[in-house]
Structure 1
Amino acid sequence: MRAVVTGGAGFIGAHLARTLRERGAKVVVIDDLSSGRLANLSGCDVEFLEASILDRPMLDTALGGADVVVHLAAIPSVPRSVANPLASHHANATGTLEVLEASRRAGVRQVVLASSSSVYGASAVMPKQEDMPTAPLSPYAVSKLATEAYAIAYHHCYGLDVLPFRFFNVFGPLQPAGHAYAAVIPAFVDAALAGRPLPVQGGGEQTRDFTYVGSVVRVIADAVERGVTSDRPVNLAFGAVRR
């Protein structure tokens, strides 16, 4: 199996690339290194292409002969999208459309895509279920809702097999902690190791379903190997809500 991982030098992507290689797949990574790091793939036998998913010729090169695409490339972070909504839209929504079109041109049999629990907005209903109304409250959330909607439309219009996952607060090794948009767990760990106070926002009553990156990539790899598809978004979470 030949698998392409967009954003494969990022936190989740690098773990997935290693897992797919360990399972015998040939892996091509395309990443512009805007948030990923080549060091994340150190020692991992993959074909690496440094390029944006908005670079159509390079995307066609990456997807040539591919069986499966796992589309993880995105500009992450709600605050970043609020600061620069156009950049978030171009990378996340238009980028997804480019990946889907390239997959159609290449005859890819399956596209797995990363959406986000942020599409649910501020609903207090727990647990979050796929049949709940979506209410995105940031440009990032809107772009992720567009990601999954485009995937589902391509399934119905072109017969492309897709699997849109909604990720919930993924954490684990390789997750960066040293920038303004760090997620809460690496920020906590970094502060604790440095002896700084933990940066707590709000009143501490917020709830999150933290999902370990190893669990996430195993689910994705299993879905790729088994050819699992869905014409509706699927929550990738385990219901272990933490305060």
Structure 2
Amino acid sequence: MIKRVLVTGAQGFTGHYLVELLRQLGHEVYGLQADIRDLDALTAEVTSVNPTHVVHLAGISFTLDGKDINIYQVHLIGSENLLKACMEIRENLQKVILVSTSHVYGFGNGEPLDEDFPVAPRSHYAVSKYAMECVAENYRDDLSIIITRPFNYTGYGQAGRFLVPKLVSHFKQRLPAIELGNIDVARDFSDVRWVAQVYRALLDSEYEGVVNLCSGRAVTIRYILDYLQQKTGHEIQLNQKVDLIRKECLLQVGNHAKLDAWVGIKPYPFESTLDWMLSGESI
């Protein structure tokens, strides 16, 4: 069945891949144009498009903690505005996907984090996302809502201020040195193409509730550096900067059992993601 999908943040990193995938599958896809902080404009556009499915990707993805005063306006107020607008078309609306973050778990305890792990957000970014989750509970009686908690993911086209694109870029350009913090922290990385496939599958699913988006495998920054050196044959000097060393846990990895049960799409091996980013091919 052809879906009419409204995607917020359609021009962003994840949105680009999701919109392309959905259109390839023959669905009608609309990228939200209104500012989600403007309830009237947002409601007018949502009712005009009258989507059967909504994916809410829009957000502030990179901020020094506390430096962007819009983070609550966008993640909390903007998301509730979207839910209010969705209430106007709820008879036709089959699924709403809201994107939260694995940062709501805080540092964790080194064990694979599942959806029942206690939340302990430690940054304004994480708090604003968890506040969105809490507000969304008020709409569950009327809307079919899935809240995803993505762990780290990357791919070709991600902005260079993020860690993995920064690493790949330095090796592709064969730069002599790189500035990093602690390279022995281990994180759960996924591929943006896989993330897009998961969102597509979740739109088709009958499920509601909270689900992790993760690979279940953690790799260290040191491992990524070694892999990129091996693939490119380029040695790079590491300059560790104290101001880049954050107060954070050494290991954070997700439990993907629930996601496997819901969609069963096998994650890409992270090495294949790095190979793809090195190749410079967009798809």
Deviation of 1:59 after TM superposition, in Å, equals: 1.7
CA contact 2:97–2:148 (8 Å) conserved in 1: yes
* Alignment match, 2:186: 207
- Quick one: distance in 2 between partners of 1:199 and 1:220? 34
Deviation of 1:159 after TM superposition, in Å, equals: 2.4
* Alignment match, 1:74: 59
* Alignment match, 2:258: none
Q: Residue 119 in 1 paired to residue 96 in 2?
A: no
TM-score, with length taken from structure 1 = 0.83
* Alignment match, 2:131: 146
* Counterpart mapping for 1:1-243 below 5 A: 1-30=3-32, 49=33, 51-64=34-47, 65-79=50-64, 81-84=65-68, 86-107=69-90, 108-155=93-140, 158-177=141-160, 182-196=161-175, 197-202=177-182, 204-226=183-205, 228-231=206-209, 233-243=210-220
- Quick one: distance in 1 between partners of 2:149 and 2:63? 15
Match of 2:193, as an amino acid? G
- Quick one: distance in 2 between partners of 1:103 and 1:174? 31
* Alignment match, 1:41: none
- Quick one: distance in 2 between partners of 1:194 and 1:55? 42
Greater shift in the superposed pair: 100-109 or 2-11: 100-109
TM-score, with length taken from structure 2 = 0.71
Deviation of 1:78 after TM superposition, in Å, equals: 4.7
Deviation of 1:240 after TM superposition, in Å, equals: 1.5
What is the total number of aligned residue pairs between the two structures?
Answer: 213
- Quick one: distance in 2 between partners of 1:153 and 1:125? 32
Calculate percent identity across the aligned residue pairs: 31
* 2:5 aligned counterpart, secondary structure: strand
CA contact 2:150–2:213 (8 Å) conserved in 1: yes
* 1:217 aligned counterpart, secondary structure: helix
Which runs of 5 or more residues in structure 1 are unaligned?
31-48
Deviation of 1:60 after TM superposition, in Å, equals: 2.2
Match of 1:146, as an amino acid? A
Deviation of 1:173 after TM superposition, in Å, equals: 1.7
- Quick one: distance in 2 between partners of 1:184 and 1:23? 32
Over 3 Å counting, the alpha-carbon distance change for 1:126 and 1:199 in structure 2 is farther
Deviation of 1:212 after TM superposition, in Å, equals: 0.3
CA contact 1:6–1:73 (8 Å) conserved in 2: yes
Which runs of 5 or more residues in structure 2 are unaligned?
221-283
Deviation of 1:3 after TM superposition, in Å, equals: 0.5
CA contact 1:15–1:214 (8 Å) conserved in 2: yes
Mark the structure with the bigger radius of gyration. 2
Greater shift in the superposed pair: 61-70 or 159-168: 61-70
CA contact 1:78–1:141 (8 Å) conserved in 2: no
- Quick one: distance in 1 between partners of 2:195 and 2:201? 10
State the Cα RMSD in Å: 1.5
